[in-house]
Amino acid sequence: MAEPNSKPNTTVFAPWTDPDAVPLIRFRNVTKRFGDFTAIDDLTLDIYEREFFALLGPSGCGKTTMMRMLAGFENPTEGRIEIGGQDMANVPPNLRAVNMMFQSYALFPHLSVYDNIAFGLKRSDMPKEQIPDRVNEMLRLTRLERFAKRKPHQISGGQRQRVALARSLAKAPKLLLLDEPLGALDKKLREETQFELMDIQEKTGTTFVIVTHDQEEAMTVASRVAVMDAGVIKQVDTPPAIYETPNSVYVADFIGDVNLIEGTAAKTGEHAYEITYAEGVDPIKVTECEHEIAEGAKVTFAIRPEKIVVTQDPPEDRANAMQGKIIDIGYLGNLSTYHVELPGGQMVKATMTNASRISRRDYTWEDTVWLGFRSSAGVVLSE
Amino acid sequence: MRRAALILLPYSWLIALFLVPFLIVIKISLSDIALAIPPYTPNLDLSQGWAGIKDFLSQLDLDNFKFLTTDDLYWKAYLSSLRIALLSTFLTLCVAYPLAYGMARAPDEWRPTLMMLVILPFWSSFLIRVYSWKAILANEGLLNQFLMLIRVIDEPLTILNTPTAVYIGIVYTYLPFMVLPLYSALEKLDGSLLEAAEDLGCTRFQAFWLVTFPLSRNGIIAGCFLVFIPVMGEFVIPALLGGSQTLMIGKVLWEEFFSNRDWPVASAVAVILLAILVIPIVLFQRNEEKQREAEG
């Protein structure tokens, strides 16, 4: 199934590239309206078993609505949702093999950690004598053994988050939904927990769907990311593909930092174009452009700041070189971001690793420098 | 200094308005009936000095309390009050819970209006409201007329002057005291807890029973005490609606004071009533404290 242009890291686990793979979840032309407001607009999407799927978008983009429809708290206005081949219309939440970890954790305040985790098992057809074993297994998995007897208000935020995870995993659901699961944790704990989540997902083999507005989180944990905007999915792809080859200005701008340069395209060869963005300067040369662009079309050239090198002399090993003046330098310790103004007034950001000491740097504010990047470094977007 | 002053204010209120009157009631309960003004003896005469106080104290005795045990009217009245208070508290809870639940689940913009409607009866006199129940429950009253009109019954039901009328009156009067703490407990309930319960396999009813109900426990306890404690000593409702059939300690108290003019015995009845109520009051306070602890 290795296609010639598939990326090396997707050949390990990539059921979405396999035409014979049967998706676990299918959204078929799903529309959800609340009164006049359309939360989800004619959405079609497949999610496969064992995937760690991230729904990413700004608040109000419909990602939480999608998750609530999977859990059964909302029903689609139009279209259908299938889980494991079964149409989920009219299946109430308590009869779905789907569990959810709530943003607020929704731990039962009157029950101990142990009883919170056992809550779902007691409602299932699991024999009574097996329940303690399962709960203890969950406690071990989330390293909560010592807190089993405590009430939710007697443990820390990070521990509460793990209780919520253990509770939603206890019934071994086919699908686990995570609604902004790490939103309430501080940055360090969040990063730690992200890796923990990935580890648990791998150990249990459960399909995870995570809703988040934090793009770093989505990129870190997910096998695929869906970028949403106003009830529509803009792009679904692996994190590297979303980052390197966004399909629209919206996605390019939403994920990470990007320079957007508007211009006119002209074809120069197979998958190669030139983009004229200003008078009197060389056009940007682009190769490896996979999609066809009409001659003279208005396009946006998107390039990530770290793909641009800043040098004092014209770079010889880069296909594109432009001269500009340093307006601002953002020093981040490991990196520095240079804000460079091109002759036409266009601002370009370039990020350089601070490989040597800052005092050794040859250029500073108001200096004229060269910006260089390869012809394959950026993407041409017509949307 | 300022802290002490702050604490002093509520305590001086309590001492002036509760402790001093209570001590006077205890003193009267230890005195003897007399045909005089005030209608009891001894009276403290401070002009005699230390001897006067000694003389005064030597005349106090527990005769009135002993008297209460000789007549079975009193303990029957206590027991009957206890039974009526317990049953009517339970009935009030049954009526108030769905009401409070509905209010807590109502759309946000409706809640202040609903709250207003619950409090509205307080704007008219309690006495008038109870009295008007006579017009509803009487044999020729509105209720019987209505039931006969829609042909549910052929002859009027006798409700007025029975315990049933007392229960109706109590449930009606004390409903807001039950609804308000229940509402405040149910309103705080996080809706995602119910979703979580359903997500984990509960039906709607199970989710209510396993999550909503236990989490409204503090509201239930608070409401029950707020109803039970005053109903125990209730006088107006049994007097107006209960007729001669309903025996309640509040009525006995009234008769001792105003019909028999036996202040010492009436005071003894009141002291024992208070002693009975101290137990639920302490339990109520402890519940409130625990709740504050859990929230803080």
pLDDT along chain B (296 residues), means of 10: 83 91 91 83 78 82 87 89 94 95 92 91 89 89 88 84 91 94 91 91 91 91 91 89 85 88 90 88 83 68
Residues of B in contact with A163 (CB under 8 A): none
- Answer yes or no: do A188 and A332 share one domain: no
Q: Is residue A12 part of a domain?
A: no
β-sheet bridge partners, residue A269 = A272
A234 and A89 in a single domain? The answer is yes
What residue ranges define each of the domains in chain B, with the CATH number in brackets? 66-295 (1.10.3720.10)
Picking from A189, A230, A244, A221, the residue whose alpha carbon sits closest to that of residue A379 is A244
Per residue in B28-69, pLDDT (tens digit) is: 999 888 887 788 888 777 777 788 888 888 888 888 888 888
B289 touches chain A (CB under 8 A): no
Q: Which residue in chain A is spatially nearest to B216 when comparing CA positions?
A: A110
Check whether residue A275 and residue A152 sit in a common domain: no
Distance CA A100, CA A106 (A): 10
Q: Read off the pLDDT band of A1 (50, 70, 90).
A: very low
In a domain, residue A6? The reply is: no
- Per-residue pLDDT, B296: 54
Residue A87 above 80 pLDDT? yes
Asked if the interface predicted TM-score (ipTM) of this complex is over 0.85, the answer is no
Residues A115 and A168 in one domain: yes
Residue A68 maps to a domain: yes
Per DSSP, B61 falls in state -
pLDDT at A352: 87
- In chain A, what residues touch B210 (CB-CB under 8 Å)? 119
Same domain? A203 vs A308: no
**Chain B (199-258) residues lying within 8 Å, Cβ to Cβ, of chain A:** 199-203, 206, 210-211, 214-215, 217
Residues of chain B with C-beta less than 8 angstroms from the C-beta of A178: none
Query: What is residue B231's predicted lDDT score, i.e. its pLDDT?
Result: 93
Within a domain: A162? yes
**Chain A contact present for B197, CB below 8 A:** yes
Q: Nearest residue on chain B to A124, judged by CA atoms?
A: B201
% of chain A beyond a pLDDT of 90: 13
Q: B249, B124, B119, B204: which is closest to A93 by C-alpha?
A: B204
Token pair belonging to A216: 């770093």
Q: Is A34 on the interface with B (CB under 8 A)?
A: no
Distance linking the first and last C-alpha atoms of chain B: 27
Residue A267 belongs to what domain range? 257-381
B-chain residues near A102 (CB < 8 A): 192, 195-196
* C-alpha separations of A279 from A249, A382, B186 in Å: 23, 21, 68
SS (H, E, C) B161-172: CCHHHHHHHHHH
Strands A284-286 and A272-276: antiparallel
Both tokens of A210, joined, read 């995570």
- Two structure tokens written together for A13: 């686990």
CB atoms within 10 A of CB A378: 26
Specify whether A235 is located in the same domain as A281.
no
Question: Are residues A119 and A140 part of one domain?
Answer: yes
Residue pair A328/A238 in contact by the 8 Å Cβ criterion: no
Distance between B177 CA and the closest CA of chain A, angstroms: 25
User: Are the Cβ atoms of A153 and B294 closer than 8 angstroms?
Assistant: yes
Which amino acid, residue B120?
A: L
Question: What per-residue confidence (pLDDT) applies to B93?
Answer: 96
A residues 247-306 near B, CB within 8 Å? none
Whether the CB of B94 is below 8 Å from some CB of chain A: the reply is: no
Rounded to an integer, what distance in angstroms lies between the CA atom of residue A43 and that of residue B132? 62
Domain final position from A250, A270, A294: A250
Q: Which of A71, A108, A124 sits opposite B201 (nearest CB)?
A: A124
Using a CB–CB cutoff of 8 Å, tell me whether A120 touches chain B: yes
Q: Do A267 and A228 sit in the same domain of this protein?
A: no
- Domain match, A135 and A261 both: no
Angle in degrees, CA B60, B63, B65, rounded to 5: 110
Q: Select, from the ranges A17-21, A77-81, A85-89, B98-102, the one with the highest average predicted confidence (pLDDT).
A: B98-102
Give the A:B interface size as CB pairs under 8 Å. Answer: 57
Instruction: Name the β-bridge partners of A224.
Output: A53
Distance from CA of B175 to the nearest CA of A (A): 27
Per DSSP bridges, beta strands A298-303 and A335-341 are: unpaired
Nearest CA in chain A to B294: A153
Cα A190 vs. chain centroid, distance in angstroms?
Answer: 15
Residue B295 has what pLDDT? 62
| Cα of B69 vs its chain's centroid, Å | 25
Q: Return the SS3 of A251.
A: helix
Interface touch A106/B190, C-beta < 8 Å: yes
Q: Which residues of B touch A71 (CB under 8 A)?
A: 195, 199
Residue type present at position A272 = A
Write the Ramachandran bin of A230: left for phi over 0, alpha for psi from -120 to 50, otherwise beta: left
The answer to whether A363 contacts chain B (CB < 8 Å) is no
Q: Is the C-alpha dihedral spanning A358, A362, A365, A369 positive or negative?
A: negative
**A250, A282, A316 — which closes off a domain?**
A250
Which tens digit of pLDDT belongs to each residue from A103-134? 889 999 989 999 999 999 998 888 889 999 99
Q: Are B102 and B115 in contact (CB under 8 A)?
A: no
Taking CB atoms and an 8 Å limit, are A93 and B199 in contact across chains?
yes
DSSP secondary structure string for all residues of A48-101: -TT-EEEEE-STTSSHHHHHHHHHTSS--SEEEEEETTEE-TT--GGGSSEEEE
Q: How many residues make up chain A in this entry?
A: 383
Same domain, A22 and A139: yes
Regarding whether A244 and A366 lie in a shared domain, the answer is no
CATH assignment at residue A329: 2.40.50.100
DSSP class of residue B138 equals S
What residues in A contact B205, CB-CB < 8 Å? none
**Helix B142-149 vs helix B126-137: angle between axes, to the nearest 10 degrees?**
40
A59 found inside a domain: yes
In tens, the pLDDT along A184-220 reads 777 887 888 888 888 888 888 889 999 988 888 888 8
Q: Which two tokens stand for residue B61?
A: 């005795």
The predicted structure's pLDDT at residue B271: 92
Structure-token pair, residue A296 = 């003279």
Amino acid at position B12, single letter? S
Query: What's the pLDDT score for residue B228?
Result: 93
Instruction: Give the model's pLDDT for residue A4.
Output: 46
Contacts of B203 in chain A (CB under 8 A): 94
Give the residue carrying structure tokens 């997902």: A201
Number of domains into which chain A is organized: 2
pLDDT at A11: 54
Q: Are residues A203 and A268 in the same domain?
A: no
CATH of the domain at A237: 3.40.50.300
Please indicate, yes or no, if residue A370 is contained in any of the structural domains: yes
Query: Between these two residues, B16 and A314, which has the higher pLDDT value?
Result: B16
Does A108 sit within 8 Å of B211, measured CB to CB? Answer: yes
Q: Is residue A334 part of a domain?
A: yes
Q: Which of A196, A229, A250 is the last residue of a domain?
A: A250
